[in-house]
Amino acid sequence: MAEKISKLWIVNVTSFLLFALLGVTGLINWLLLPRGYGQGAGFLVSVRHSLVTMHEWAALLFIIVVGVHISLHWSYVKNTLGRYRKKK
């Protein structure tokens, strides 16, 4: 039981950190960095592309971590769905 709790804790912290990274990189790209290849914005455009790449990888890892989270809670999901099925 303690092993499952430590796994859940690690998955929850990892998902929070990835979600925070997604929020920060998304907001920086959306609100602060210039779009396109404007004159004199070469460095900022390269930063933008790097952040977009980081955002995409964080999104992929977040989806994987959410899948792991659901698999760790799978018995709860099955029990809850079973209760709703019995009521109908």
Domain hosting residue 54, numbered range:
42-88
Domain assignment of residue 51, yes or no: yes
Query: pLDDT tens across 46-55, in order?
Result: 899 899 999 9
Domain assignment of residue 80, yes or no: yes
The mean per-residue pLDDT over the stretch 58-79 comes to: 96
Contact 33, 48 (CB under 8 A): yes
The mean per-residue pLDDT over the stretch 55-68 comes to: 98
Task: Tell me the two tokens of residue 76.
Answer: 């709860």
Domain assignment of residue 2, yes or no: no
Under the banding of pLDDT at 50, 70 and 90, the label for residue 59 is very high
Examine the pLDDT at 41 and tell me if it is beyond 70. Answer: no
Domain assignment of residue 21, yes or no: no
Q: What angle do CA 55, 58, 63 make, to 5 degrees?
A: 125
Domain assignment of residue 8, yes or no: no
Domain assignment of residue 34, yes or no: no
Domain assignment of residue 5, yes or no: no
Query: pLDDT tens across 1-29, in order?
Result: 889 899 999 999 999 999 999 999 999 99
Task: Tell me the two tokens of residue 13.
Answer: 């912290």
